[in-house]
Structure 1
Amino acid sequence: MRGRFQQFIAVFTATLSAVSDGMQYAWTAPIIPMIQRSNSTLQVTHTDVLWLENIYMIGGLAGIPFTILTIDRFGRKTSILIGAVQNLVAWILIGFASSIEYIYVARFLSGLAGDVGFVAAPMYVAEIADKKIRGFLGSWIYLKMLVGVVIIYSVAPFVSIPVSSAVGCSFLIIELFTFPFMPESPYFYIMKNNPAAARKSLQRLRSTDDVQEEMEEIAITVKMQQTKKIRYTDLVMKENSRKALLIMTVLNLAQHFSGYSVILMNVHSILDDAGAGTSLNSNNTAILYSILMLVAALLASGLVDKAGRKILLGASSVTTGLAILILAIYLALKNYGTNVEPYNWIPIFSVMAFAICFKFGLGIVPIVTTGELFPTNLKALGMTSADGIYIISSILSIYIYQVLKENYGIHVPFFLFAVCCFFTAIFTVFFIPETKGKTLKEIQLMLNGNKVPNNVSDVEKKLNDPENFSTL
């Protein structure tokens, strides 16, 4: 129990920046209406608004090479701290911005920080957590990001920009004062040929001196994955990393082509187009939507290590698809002239059902599995590649939504999103392995098509088999 408490503390402090990242991700929704007011000290044009929304993603793309460099060279812990400093600078720039150019720089920096945080943090969590609670701890990143969304929706419309920026800074300051005292990943120390530091780190994380068996497992895992010199082509040439990349590509595409980014950034206009009458104003609607996502994600985090990744992901994909399909049918009927006014509660129901169903699995399982699937020596490259796909798919989903909406009607993109959800459910059933309760080495054996061994001696036999040894 003491060991798990130490892991909880390490993960809690490591993921505090995710709250700030969530605030930055949703920052434009409540802030843009504020800076567009006639009495705002910041003068913005329509073009400025578009750039403020997109430059965050551009910063994330630009941060990919930087992330690959820092994670394996300086460590998971140092990379997380670098991201926290970048995000802190971004909030300070926003809080004291005297022109829109300062906010451009801040949004770009926050994108860089988010890229580092959402690659380094899942990797750190996956490598320090006990296999029985790894899924639960891995879900904290998304949970805290959703907490950040709730905070920015709840605070920003009612206070000044410097005050909301100070709230964002507070989480980062706490992280910078606490996380430096947490242990580094023992996997990273083994990669750097420092077994003494790895042992000390593992003893702290498990709150026991008896870590020899786990040290041997970590050493075997790293040795199996460092047999050959790292090549970028290994990400697609080796069976285990190729399967991991395929799974993460599909899951990252699925997250956005389920309609997540589109609904998050356009929920007000979607409800208006649907003619949904509601007594809630836009601020309250946004708060309720974000709270429902957070509650669903909290429930899922408690089940991800009990029910398993596959069942949550499959059930979430199907129910999310149904929620989107109901909305698409309603919008299609309205578009074709059918009187749907007696049923104008349906789009509200669909959007809120989407918030619950999406975050119950499809919105949380990928962040858990992204730290589990890639082999240690290719983890930085694999996870940053997956992160790049995540960013690009977000941009594409929003672009495709706007094009289809303008040319064919608002219902058409939602039919597309529903089909993508159902495809994800099928993919989950037939192609995604269940990683619940598996060690990282067992997951790599599964991805290679090998039977998971029962003990360390079986792993050593696998290690001595040249055929298996060359592919791990």
Structure 2
Amino acid sequence: MTAKTRSHWKEYGTAFCATLITATAGTCYGWPSPTLPYLKSKESDIKTSADEASWIVSIMILCSALTPIPSAYFADRFGRKTCLLLGAIPFIIGWVLVIVAKSVSVLYVARMFSGLGYGIVYTVAPMYTGEIATNEVRGALSTLITLMNKVGILAQYCIGPFVSMRTLAAINLILPISFVITFIFVPESPYYYLKFERSERAERSLRHLRSGDIRLELKNIEVSVQEDMKNKGTWSDLIREATNRKALWITLGVFTIQQLCGSAAVVAYAQDIFSVTGSKIEDYKESIILGCVQVATCCLSVVLVDRLGRKPLLVLSSLGVGLMNGTIGTYFYFYAQNKEDVEHLHWLPITAILIYIVCYAIGLSTVPYVIIGEMFPTNVKLYASCVAHIYTGISMFTVQKLFQVVKDAWGIYTVFWGFSLFSMLGLMFMLIVLPETKGKSFACIQAQLRRDVAKDNARKLITVEY
């Protein structure tokens, strides 16, 4: 085995330990799917209305928008590793509260704590994985964040239908505790150490992550950090600097498409959606199939993201989810008008949803977290991650909450037609605006953004003169 291969294995091992916490976030994300049918049933010891159920789903994501700013400061001041370890605490508290819950209000509080942890994880984890990776595997390591999240969701689909709500919470509690035990032994990001001129610690960290001679890479990282830190980053730099402004515009655009294609609603309400499809397969079995397809496709994305590139995957993903959303919406429309006319097509919605999941998982599910780790210089990366995840949290909350509202008011087909429209608008955005960053160093990506900004300014000047 070559030194390069050994280094890649070390990087994957470190990233796996780090992304255990995103698997925990996945358990919180997927938990409502098998749990809500029970909570809304007559057998439930916590009587829950449809409106209360929608709040149980969405309040976690709303609260996830509260922690990016403090976690950004904490990660910048005390380290990415320390911040991720502290991020496990809200998850632990959340699952303990679910275990002891006797009312809907306690479930609300539990989901709030889970949301706080969710916001910490998705602010800091992309930065950590991006900074410990070499250029060759940075995309693959970043997609592990989403892959582990999908594993957590799949665990809920597979275990949830067969155990009680409290037993499921107790099982989920194992993950954040396991993360803390394993992640303690993982090194801090060398970028963080060099930012504070702790060269010896940065060297030890990099030796833990690599095999062979690290002197050249350490020097390159040091030069990159020094270049980024010449002007200490501030929140206003995200808007004042033209390259940062363009990167933020692109990043927020990608995350907008990720949410408005409906993924948050499909995952959280999976069993409820399947219950109205007319399928002959039991709802929980369809959810398990969906979860398995998510995980398998995310594994494929880990392989493809550094081979095909970021932009092709996102374009293909947007096209696929747009077509499938339209197909699902059309099926539900005819099912609502006269279900006997489409009973022979009972296989269509599950097939379309599975194709939707495949298309979503290979691009929109994974690549946005790669982009956010690549598009910004070190001095403002945390601020950008913070803004993106506050925005994403609000967008995801809106989608999850309005799904039930729009479904009850205008029918579920209206929801999926809306998702289809936004997906197609996203496809055009990807084709026109998104640059390719595959295999490029952070310095090369910044240089490309500067060239793009210069071209934009030149076009504006020509337009004004004309």
Structure-2 change in CA distance of 1:186 and 1:398 (3 Å): same
Q: 5+ residue gaps in structure 2? A: 454-466
> Matched residues in 1 for 2:162 and 2:435: separation?
46
Cα separation, partners in 2 of 1:400 and 1:119, compared to 1, 3 Å: same
Aligned-pair CA distance for 1:430: 2.5
Q: Is the CA contact 1:128–1:205 (under 8 Å) kept in the aligned structure 2?
A: yes
Instruction: Render the CA deviation track for 1:403-422: whole Å, top value 9, x for unaligned.
Output: 55455543333233222222
**1:171 CA drift (Å):** 1.9
Alignment of 1:248-267 (within 5 A): 248-267=251-270
Whether contact under 8 Å (2:58, 2:400) holds in the other structure is no
Deviates more, 1:299-308 or 1:409-418: 409-418
Partners of 1:443 and 1:386 lie apart in 2 by: 19
| Alignment match, 1:20 | 24
Residue 246 of structure 1 aligns with an amino acid whose one-letter code is W
The SS at the match of 1:278 is: coil
Determine the structure 2 residue equivalent to 1:311.
Answer: 312
Question: Which of 340, 343, 360 lines up with 2:342 in the alignment?
Answer: 340
- SS class of match (2:296): helix
CA contact (8 A) 2:324 2:355 kept: yes
Query: Are 2:436 and 1:431 equivalent residues in the alignment?
Result: no
| Contact kept? 1:3, 1:204, Cα under 8 Å | no
Matched residue, 1:469: none
TM-score using structure 1 length? 0.88
1:211 to 209, 214, 223: 214
Structure 1 residue 45, shift from structure 2 partner? 4.8
Question: Contact between 2:14 and 2:186, CA under 8 Å: does it hold in 1?
Answer: yes
* AA in 1 matched with 2:266: I
Cα distance change of structure 1 residues 46 and 369 upon mapping to structure 2, 3 Å threshold = same
Is the contact made by 1:146 and 1:294 (CA closer than 8 Å) also made in structure 2? Answer: yes
Distance 2:50 2:424 in 1: 36
Name the aligned partner's letter for residue 363 of structure 1: S
Letter in 2 for 1:358: Y
Tell me if 1:54 matches 2:58: yes
Distance in 2 of aligned mates of 1:39 and 1:408: 29
Q: 1:411 aligns with which of 413, 419, 432?
A: 413
Secondary structure of 1:370's partner? helix
Q: Which of 111, 129, 154 in structure 2 is aligned with 1:107?
A: 111
What amino acid is aligned across from residue 304 of structure 1 in structure 2? V
1:149 paired to 2:153? yes
Question: Relative to structure 1, is the Cα distance of residues 128 and 104 closer, same or farther in structure 2, using a 3 angstrom cutoff?
Answer: same
Distance 1:137 1:265 in 2: 26
Moved more, 171-180 or 12-21: 171-180
Aligned 8 A contact 1:15 1:141 in 2: yes
Aligned Cα root-mean-square deviation (Å) = 2.3
Deviations 1:349-389 (A, max 9, x none): 21121111111111111122221112111111100111111
**Paired position in structure 1 for 2:370:** 368
In structure 2, the partner of 1:420 is: 422
**How many residue pairs end up in the alignment?**
448
Contact 2:29 2:268 in 1 (8 A): no
| Fraction of identical pairs, as percent | 31
- 1:87–1:409 distance in 2 versus 1, CA, 3 Å: closer
- Of 193-202 and 91-100, deviating more is 91-100
- Contact 1:318–1:421 (CA under 8 A) maintained in structure 2: yes
Equivalent position amino acid for 2:433 in 1: F
Q: Distance in 1 between matches of 2:109 and 2:35?
A: 16
Q: Secondary structure at the match of 1:306?
A: coil
Distance of aligned partners of 1:344 and 1:279 in 2 relative to their CA distance in 1, 3 Å threshold = closer
**More displaced, 173-182 or 341-350?**
341-350
The question of whether the paired residues in 2 share the 8 Å contact of 1:325 and 1:415 is answered with yes
Question: Against the structure 1 CA distance between its residues 270 and 94, is the aligned structure 2 distance closer, same or farther, given a 3 Å change threshold?
Answer: closer
Equivalent-residue separation in structure 2 for 1:411 and 1:244 (angstroms): 35
Q: 1:327 — aligned with what?
A: 328
Q: Secondary structure at the match of 2:160?
A: helix
Contact 1:35 1:43 in 2 (8 A): yes
Query: Which whole-Å deviations, capped at 9, do the CAs of 1:322-356 have from their partners, x for residues lacking one?
Result: 11222233344555669334334322221121111
Output the amino acid matched with 1:118: Y
Gaps of 5+ in 1: 452-472
SS of residue in 1 equivalent to 2:451: coil
Whichever residue aligns with residue 151 of structure 2, its letter is V
Kindly indicate whether residue 227 of structure 2 is the aligned counterpart of residue 224 of structure 1: yes
The reply on whether 1:391 has 2:385 as its aligned counterpart is no
- 1:96 is aligned, of 100, 103, 126, to 100
Conserved 8 A contact 2:271-2:284: no
